[in-house]
Structure 1
Amino acid sequence: MIVTYNWIKEFVDCDLPAAELSHLLTMLGLEVERMEEVGGGMDDVVVAQVVERNQHPNADKLSLCKVDDGSGGELLSIVCGAQNFKAGDKVALAKIGATLPGDFKIKRSKIRGEESFGMLCSERELALSDESSGIMILPQDFKLGVPLFNALGTKDVIFEIGLTPNRADCLSVAGVAREIAAKLGKKVHYPGLEVKETGAPIESIAQVAIDAPDLCPRYTARHITGCTLAPSPTWLANRLRDAGIRSINNIVDVTNYVLLEYGHPLHAFDFKLLSGGKIVVAAAGEGEQFHTLDGQERTLSASDLTIRDGEKAVALAGIMGGGNSEINDATTEVLLESAYFNPSAIRRTSKRLGIHTESSHRFERGTDVAGLTRALDRAAQLIAELSGGRIAKGVIDVYPEPIAPRTIPARLARINAVSGLSLTAAEVKDMFERLEFQVAETEAGVFKVQVPLFRVDLEREIDLVEEVVRLNGFEKVEATLPQASVLSDLPSPQLRLGSRIKDLLVSHGLSEVINYSFVAPTSCEKILLAEDDFRRKGVPLLNPISDELSVMRTTLLPGLLETAVKNINFRTLDLRIFEMRRIYIPSETNDLGLPDEPMCLAALFTGRRDPEGWNQAKGNLDFFDVKGIVESILDELNIGGVNYVADELDPYFHPGKACRVKSGNRELGSFGELHPSVQENYGIDQVLYYLELNFGKLIACRKEMGSAQVPSRFPSTFRDIAMLLPETTPAAEILASVKSVKADELEGVELFDLYTGGNIPKGEKSIAIRVRYGSKERTLTDDEVTKLHQRVIATLQKKLNVSFR
């Protein structure tokens, strides 16, 4: 928010130096980010008069002038190239030693053989205008020798205030002045309103209807006829310029001026362009096209609020007007709008369409619904004065359900306890009244505070405590150490197990990454999820930070792939990364409509098995490296009875090169090589392996470690079995068949050889297993081992129909 000192002083009597006022505002919570003097350091630019103007003897397009600078000394000789002045005109003279905007220093010079002792300046050279057709011609009543900016009355100080989003009430000169007056204990002087209504009754001219009162609780309007469009007077153009707004014409400039003055946006329609002479506040049609004032064609949705006439939309409510009703050179009748719009509705439309204006900036934060008529009357009065218009009798004010001011209780004891101050009830009551609050002390030290509608940020007692501390002075709050007790809370079992698994993965050479919890809507397509896959629905965000991050993730895979792409693009080709975070699955059973949020563990692998070095293992990572890590996780959690099933895989896995992990009937997750199409979709040209485990299910399957078993004192006996069986038979079935032989003496079994190729029939494979037999009570005899071994062989033949080599 930009305000000027002179404008502030029109609202409150303040004679503080600019630097002190800047400090006062900052200590009130209105931080001054920039302070700039208009005309500061330019006292050497003075009012002067051209006494003689003669042709330069050595240049056709230059004049040699004699200029009186008001000092009483000799006339100055000035060479000038402008043609828009004559002898007797009063002009702006930059004397030798003056420094103009842009750090342009005026020096004594010789131009085409003639000496020049200064420079006659244009408005552009003095930063008073963006354009100029010659030097600046001043009124004849200006006194010679007076610094130009003093004579113009434009010497001022500009304050640029960095407001926090909650202080919408200070997005105006009046709001800032109100804060200064409260701090200094003075009254605010609002501009006098004298609306001279000389036209016909407004009810006979225009009508207003609100079809969406929840989005527009109040709409007011005035009608002005007989207007003449013209450039704004200098004082108005200068005020807008200092605030960073370009002057357009006398009608539009007034709406911008009152917006800055009162903080309430207004809009002026060319009334003759409004079909039927009516205004309807209603939602847009889905897909409706609307041409805004910035020349853009906008596609609206049913959630967008529009201002319409009898046939069409003429403005995007609270944001921008339409090109079909704008003020133009032919405008003579104006319908002036002052309304209140729902902040969330304006914010939603502004963000969706990517439009941010001075109006939307204020409506999004909340304007003063009670003060909009004052802004309307102020603007109507100025438009009538500056354009020669006549204001219709009366005002249209559609306000179906008036909004009542909020009443908040406050306790003196609470205020002093929180702030550390020792204020009296009278002091607190006085501060509330200086802030224009209505306050009543219902009992000793207990207040009932009615907050004006322009303070949309105050909702609770603690907000009133902050107001008291702020107005009393933050610097008066003593610095003390906070009193607090330190509580030590033991981590949950799940958190401890999660840390153990992370440490385990790090020990295997993996690096943890943390990705956004939201992804692009197209991420499901890139990982090949089918249209009917429940995960593809996703959970859309109501207020996403961008279109590419607008859906909550249903799997950790897209985030890991994006991380892999960034690393591979920087030539980090050997990756082992993991993430243990929540995913968000749409739920139809949750009564609150919230998604399920299971904790998942996912990892992505690619590149060489070992880092580059003289003793590195040859080859790249493969399926069995990933399987080994899965087995390490299962061992760490003491999860047994695990099966690896190579069917019903997710579509992003390579068929035949991945499997699901099951413990009994509970599916824990899956791992394997990613589908080549997924790699292609992400622009990756090397093989990727992925594992994803449901951490909650892992915890549920976990078994507590039993007591340690004393090893047998007697030696074990090993017997090997080599067999032929179909290639499609999982090794897990072989091991399970052996373990199904119920015998205490069968201590274990492991696979130690796999062979395919020569001498092996096509479609079959040779597998060798080693079975260990033993007893804790004695050494088994050879006959006992042979009988038990025969049972194992018979079981394999019966269950798997294997043939032995």
Structure 2
Amino acid sequence: MIVTYNWLKEFVDFDLSPQELADLLTMLGLEVEGVRHVGGGLDEVVVAVVEEKAQHPNADKLSLCKVNNGKETLAIVCGARNFKAGDKVALAQIGAVLPGDFKIKRSKIRGEESCGMLCSEKELGLAAESEGIIILPADLPLGVPVFDALGLKDTIFEIGLTPNRADCLSIVGIAREIAAKLGTSVRYARHAVVESDFPVGDRAEVSVEDSELCPRYTARYIAGCSIGPSPSWLVRRLEAVGMRSINNVVDVTNYVLIEYGHPLHAFDADLLAGSKIVVRRAADGERFTTLDGQERTLTSGDLTIRDGERGVALAGVMGGENSEIRQETSNILLESAYFNPSAIRRTSKRLGLHTESSHRFERGADIGILVTALDRAASLIADLAGGRVAKGVIDVYSSKVPNSTVRFRVDQCNKLLGIQLSAGEMADIFKRLEFNVEVVEPGVFNVTVPSFRVDIEREVDLVEEIARLSGYNTIPVTMPMARVISDRPTHHQRLVKRLKNVMVGQGFNEVITFSFMSPEVLDKLLLGDGDSRRPFVRLRNPLVEEQSVMRTTLLPGLLETVARNLNYRVLTLRMFELRRVYLPVEGEELPREPLCLGGIMTGARHREGWNQERHQVDFYDAKGVVENILDDFSIGDVTFVQERRDPYFHPGKSCVVRSGKEILGSFGELHPDIQENFGIDQPLYYLELDFEKLAMLNSDRVTIKPPSRFPDTFRDIAMLIADETPVSAILECINALRIKEVECAEIFDLYKGKHVPEGFKSVAIRIRYRSQEKTLADDEVSPLHKRVVDTLVKKLEVTIR
């Protein structure tokens, strides 16, 4: 919001310097972000009179003038044509510095000396454009600084407002704040409307079909206007706050917009079919051309202002090209309305059309000021455009909105702010803010909030008003009291940290990827239609389509991270992520959010070294990682079942991890198609474990079995077993016997090829026998070993070699 010092002084009396005023506004919560002085430093630009004007002897387009500044007559070369001898002009004397850091020096122009410059309004910063030099009133005294003589010295404040302070988007609003702080009152502008004898109802009709989006609509009719340029005072005032002058009617609506903060719109009444206004929603797909010449496609959520046949304005945002004020316009219908802030905000955002009007309506306009702003604009238009105002005001107000009342407790306010103000002092502050105060009981008020303060809804909002007006600097600085509590991590948190440490200890780096993904990524993972990870939670307002749904698996984020690293030639990677996935549950509003571990490996097994062979990670490296995790969590009864449970794994190179009947997860090599879908050209190994199940099966009790002090003995078994029988079945079969003397069994050879029948494989295992009580003799080991062999032959149908 841009305001000027002089404009504010028209509404409120204060004796503050511009800097003091800036400080006061900032302490009221209206932060002054910039201050610019109009005419400051331009005292060397003075009133002068042109005594002579002659043709420059060496240039056809230049004049050689003699200009008197009241002290001396100076020779000036000038290129403007819009002045004559005897005119009062603005003379920038030698040494003056004009806006843009342009310094005036003595110079020679085409051989003739020039001792200054005659200035235009643009060169003095008074207008965006000007055709010639400024011609001053004839009664101004010579030698006086131009800005002092014209009363144009001013200070412009640029104020950064928070979105809740819609009431301060006007000169009146900020004047109210100054008056409340200084304990004075606001002088509101007089707007006595001289009405003609013809009633407004004979010239226009208004119908509001959607009172939810437009609770109130008012209008006046002004006949016989003459459209032309605005007077200089109005042009300068608008340009001071960053607005461009258009014509006397449109400029008045903009002037009242800045003055009162309420947007108005002027229609060419002769272009309104049926001389009527209808306020209703647009039809889906309806096309409408706004004042900026752009054709817009509307929806049923957009509110439009229509005449008897078509749309003529996009309510609260911008008028239509088909009803704008033209040079030929004579009759005007002036609109002052209130529109639903949410509806205006949606329309403005959807169309990318942000205007001074929408900026105010979407923050909440003052429904009680409509007629005041309307009458102010109508009286100015009648003065500046010579119009005749019809008798009466059209005011369609379906259901009057009462001012809100908020209960306020004095003790609670003092407690929150840490101050000690009396009830009388607080009541005085509210009255200065133009709030109505009713004492309900000692120390309790009912505060009725005026319609212009749409931001006041709760008691704490009133507490903020007390803080602002009493002064933030009066609130004592106190150190908050705090108790130091030893917050021990929960069992779940300890397990999370423990799992991360296990992964880091195996050379993995933790990564954190987005919790969002693209729906199309599930196709890249080859997930079938019936897969439980196919349903997803869609975001209502995603930033991009690539992040429009919540992830159902950690794999896409890890694969994208791998691809990005490989593109930078980081070829050896071990990364993991321990984060939540989001799985919708049928019939439930919220999804299930299990914590999952995802780890991915690729590249070399060990770092390169001069004495090491370079080996690539493989399936058994991933299996070793999983085994270390299960060992650390003390999870027993673990089996690795060769099964392609997830379609993104390579057939025959993945397995499922089970503990009893619980499936803990899976791991293996990713399918080549997955690598191709993500632009990866080297093998990847992925592991995925359900942390919730790991935590459930975790045992904090560690069983320690002391080593036997007696010697061991080994027996080997070589056998043929069917290809389809997993080797792990041999170990499971031996462990199921629960022979306490069998300390461990290990596979040390696997062979397929020559001398091995088709459909079979040769497997060799080594069993260690040892007792905790004595040294085992051969005749004690042999029966145990025979029992193992017989069981393998019977249950697995192996052939002993």
- Structure 1 stretch displaced more, 434-443 or 267-276: 267-276
> What does residue 36 of structure 2 align with?
36
Identity %: 62
- Structure 1 stretch displaced more, 652-661 or 237-246: 652-661
CA positional deviation for 1:168: 2.3
**Given that residues 716 and 764 in structure 2 are in contact (C-alpha distance below 8 angstroms), is that contact kept between their aligned partners in structure 1?**
yes
**SS of 1:540's equivalent?**
coil
2: CA distance, partners of 1:617 / 1:307: 80
**Given that residues 168 and 367 in structure 1 are in contact (C-alpha distance below 8 angstroms), is that contact kept between their aligned partners in structure 2?**
yes
**SS of 1:365's equivalent?**
coil
> What does residue 146 of structure 1 align with?
144
CA positional deviation for 1:760: 5.3
1:594 matched to 2:590: yes
> What does residue 473 of structure 2 align with?
475
Q: TM-score, normalised by structure 2?
A: 0.91
1:420 matched to 2:421: no
Counterpart of 1:500, as a letter, is R
> What does residue 164 of structure 1 align with?
162
User: Which string of whole-angstrom CA distances, capped at 9 and with x for unpartnered residues, describes residues 535-571 of structure 1?
Assistant: 4553333444455544333333343344444444444
Counterpart of 1:56, as a letter, is H
Which residue among 123, 129, 135 is the counterpart of 2:133? 135
User: Which string of whole-angstrom CA distances, capped at 9 and with x for unpartnered residues, describes residues 514-534 of structure 1?
Assistant: 333334455445545556656
> What does residue 708 of structure 1 align with?
704
2: CA distance, partners of 1:656 / 1:392: 90
**SS of 2:440's equivalent?**
strand
**Given that residues 199 and 390 in structure 1 are in contact (C-alpha distance below 8 angstroms), is that contact kept between their aligned partners in structure 2?**
no
Task: Give the RMSD, CA atoms, in angstroms.
Answer: 3.1
In structure 2, do the counterparts of structure 1 residues 330 and 683 end up closer, same or farther at CA, with 3 Å as the change threshold? farther
**SS of 1:230's equivalent?**
coil
Counterpart of 2:65, as a letter, is C
> What does residue 484 of structure 2 align with?
486
**Given that residues 751 and 762 in structure 2 are in contact (C-alpha distance below 8 angstroms), is that contact kept between their aligned partners in structure 1?**
yes
Residues 363-374 of structure 1 mapped to structure 2, 5 A cutoff: 363-374=361-372
> What does residue 49 of structure 1 align with?
49
- Structure 1 stretch displaced more, 614-623 or 185-194: 614-623
Which residue among 230, 236, 239 is the counterpart of 1:238? 236
> What does residue 4 of structure 1 align with?
4
In structure 2, do the counterparts of structure 1 residues 790 and 48 end up closer, same or farther at CA, with 3 Å as the change threshold? farther
1: CA distance, partners of 2:397 / 2:531: 49
CA positional deviation for 1:648: 5.8
CA positional deviation for 1:76: 0.9
2: CA distance, partners of 1:336 / 1:764: 96
1: CA distance, partners of 2:383 / 2:673: 71
1: CA distance, partners of 2:533 / 2:693: 18
**SS of 1:231's equivalent?**
coil
Which residue among 328, 337, 341 is the counterpart of 1:343? 341
> What does residue 258 of structure 1 align with?
256
2: CA distance, partners of 1:721 / 1:276: 105
> What does residue 22 of structure 1 align with?
22
> What does residue 458 of structure 1 align with?
456
User: Which string of whole-angstrom CA distances, capped at 9 and with x for unpartnered residues, describes residues 146-183 of structure 1?
Assistant: 32223343321111112222222222222221111111
2: CA distance, partners of 1:770 / 1:577: 36
In structure 2, do the counterparts of structure 1 residues 356 and 524 end up closer, same or farther at CA, with 3 Å as the change threshold? farther
1:620 matched to 2:616: yes
In structure 2, runs of 5+ residues without a counterpart are none
Counterpart of 2:636, as a letter, is G
CA positional deviation for 1:222: 3.4
**Given that residues 579 and 595 in structure 2 are in contact (C-alpha distance below 8 angstroms), is that contact kept between their aligned partners in structure 1?**
yes
> What does residue 663 of structure 1 align with?
659
In structure 2, do the counterparts of structure 1 residues 358 and 519 end up closer, same or farther at CA, with 3 Å as the change threshold? farther
> What does residue 505 of structure 1 align with?
503
1:78 matched to 2:76: yes
**Given that residues 577 and 604 in structure 1 are in contact (C-alpha distance below 8 angstroms), is that contact kept between their aligned partners in structure 2?**
yes
User: Which string of whole-angstrom CA distances, capped at 9 and with x for unpartnered residues, describes residues 755-779 of structure 1?
Assistant: 4556556665544443444444444
CA positional deviation for 1:412: 1.9
> What does residue 318 of structure 2 align with?
320
> What does residue 639 of structure 1 align with?
635
CA positional deviation for 1:672: 3.5
User: Which string of whole-angstrom CA distances, capped at 9 and with x for unpartnered residues, describes residues 563-593 of structure 1?
Assistant: 4444444444433333322233333333xx2
**Given that residues 4 and 156 in structure 2 are in contact (C-alpha distance below 8 angstroms), is that contact kept between their aligned partners in structure 1?**
yes
Residues 21-420 of structure 1 mapped to structure 2, 5 A cutoff: 21-69=21-69, 71=70, 73-198=71-196, 200-420=198-418
> What does residue 604 of structure 1 align with?
600
Q: TM-score, normalised by structure 1?
A: 0.91
2: CA distance, partners of 1:763 / 1:305: 78
Counterpart of 1:116, as a letter, is S
In structure 2, do the counterparts of structure 1 residues 319 and 559 end up closer, same or farther at CA, with 3 Å as the change threshold? farther
- Structure 1 stretch displaced more, 711-720 or 153-162: 711-720
CA positional deviation for 1:143: 3.4
- Structure 1 stretch displaced more, 113-122 or 330-339: 330-339
**Given that residues 644 and 652 in structure 2 are in contact (C-alpha distance below 8 angstroms), is that contact kept between their aligned partners in structure 1?**
no
In structure 2, do the counterparts of structure 1 residues 279 and 76 end up closer, same or farther at CA, with 3 Å as the change threshold? same
CA positional deviation for 1:306: 3.9
1: CA distance, partners of 2:383 / 2:146: 28
2: CA distance, partners of 1:386 / 1:646: 91
CA positional deviation for 1:471: 0.8
**Given that residues 274 and 308 in structure 2 are in contact (C-alpha distance below 8 angstroms), is that contact kept between their aligned partners in structure 1?**
yes
**Given that residues 609 and 621 in structure 1 are in contact (C-alpha distance below 8 angstroms), is that contact kept between their aligned partners in structure 2?**
yes
Which residue among 427, 439, 442 is the counterpart of 1:441? 439
Counterpart of 2:697, as a letter, is C
**SS of 2:362's equivalent?**
helix
CA positional deviation for 1:213: 3.9
1: CA distance, partners of 2:554 / 2:586: 22
1: CA distance, partners of 2:304 / 2:769: 85
> What does residue 574 of structure 1 align with?
572
**SS of 1:221's equivalent?**
strand
Higher alpha-carbon Rg? 2
In structure 2, do the counterparts of structure 1 residues 555 and 286 end up closer, same or farther at CA, with 3 Å as the change threshold? farther
Task: Number of aligned residue pairs: give it.
Answer: 801
In structure 2, do the counterparts of structure 1 residues 763 and 381 end up closer, same or farther at CA, with 3 Å as the change threshold? farther
In structure 2, do the counterparts of structure 1 residues 102 and 748 end up closer, same or farther at CA, with 3 Å as the change threshold? same
In structure 2, do the counterparts of structure 1 residues 490 and 111 end up closer, same or farther at CA, with 3 Å as the change threshold? same
CA positional deviation for 1:302: 4.1
**Given that residues 36 and 159 in structure 1 are in contact (C-alpha distance below 8 angstroms), is that contact kept between their aligned partners in structure 2?**
yes
